[in-house]
Amino acid sequence: MSRALTVLVVDDEALARSRLRTLLADCSAPPALWLAEAATAAQALAWLQHHTADVALIDIHMPGADGLSLARALTALAAPPAVVFVTAHAEHAVQAFELDALDYLTKPVRLERLQAALQKVERLRQSRQGLAPDLTDEFLMVQGRGRLERLPLAEVLYLKAELKYLTVGTATATHLLEGALSELEQRHAHRFIRIHRNALVARAALRALEKTEAGPDGSGWAVRLHGIDEPLPVSRRQLTAVREAISA
């Protein structure tokens, strides 16, 4: 049986720290060992100069350096803890995940959400120790059901540029994403291939290339993807690369 996770709680409100201590005591899968607490980023950094923790539960709005600044500072440590933000303010989620936060919990925190976050920490710890495959999958932050959600890239079948947003399609739903298609193409070239100036598709989902009626660019070809009924048009410029990808 693996050891309990060690936790550093960083929050300027004593009642909030007390609430987290109570929730941590109720966590069982994995078990969590409350280790220490700090009321400011400076206190947290001072404590981490002489100790280590598996995870830091960090509030964002604190006097002095805020939680986002603390997360940036932690990256300079030899053995930084995983970061899970715990805050009443949902608007910082994008910044949080840009800092490689493992999760983002909004107050009041529910036990099941805290436990789910700790399970991510446990998987990360095991992967670093070579006890399990790395399960910290790449993800996108998408808009869904009125909130930001982490969507694993492994579930994404296509991305289409439409006006100022990207449509992200999976086998079961579509989501909205702010960003540039070219940036995603460059960052995740091993996962996606461009089929059109406004569309990327998952290489692993490519099923067939078929002749269709000529589109606006005169190609007359489209790809079919596993999990998607509607074929997606392929531009003449991308046709050779798509044909090679399907044949590979």
pLDDT digits (tens, 9 = 90+) for 32-65: 787 799 999 999 999 999 999 999 999 999 999 9
- Arithmetic mean of pLDDT, 127-155: 66
- Arithmetic mean of pLDDT, 148-173: 87
- Arithmetic mean of pLDDT, 154-169: 89
Q: What pLDDT is stored for residue 99 in this prediction?
A: 78
- Report residue 133's pLDDT band, with 50, 70 and 90 as the boundaries: very low
Sheet-wide strand order for 232-234? 206-211, 221-225, 232-234
pLDDT-above-70 percentage for the chain? 90
Please tell me which residue, 145 or 141, carries the higher pLDDT value: 141
Q: In the chain, what are the domain boundaries?
A: 5-128, 151-247
Please tell me which residue, 61 or 188, carries the higher pLDDT value: 61
Pairing of strands 232-234, 221-225: antiparallel
Please tell me which residue, 192 or 227, carries the higher pLDDT value: 192
Please tell me which residue, 139 or 230, carries the higher pLDDT value: 230
Q: What pLDDT is stored for residue 215 in this prediction?
A: 65
| pLDDT of residue 1 exceeding 50 | no
Domain 151-247: which CATH class?
Answer: mainly beta
Please tell me which residue, 37 or 179, carries the higher pLDDT value: 37
Q: What pLDDT is stored for residue 185 in this prediction?
A: 87
- Arithmetic mean of pLDDT, 189-214: 91
| pLDDT of residue 155 exceeding 60 | yes
- Rounded to 10 degrees, what is the CA torsion of 217, 179, 90, 172? 40
Q: What pLDDT is stored for residue 193 in this prediction?
A: 95
Q: What letter does residue 191 receive in the DSSP assignment?
A: T
Buried b or exposed e, range 104-113, using 16+ CB within 10 angstroms:
bbebebeeee
Q: What pLDDT is stored for residue 218 in this prediction?
A: 59
CATH number of 5-128: 3.40.50.2300
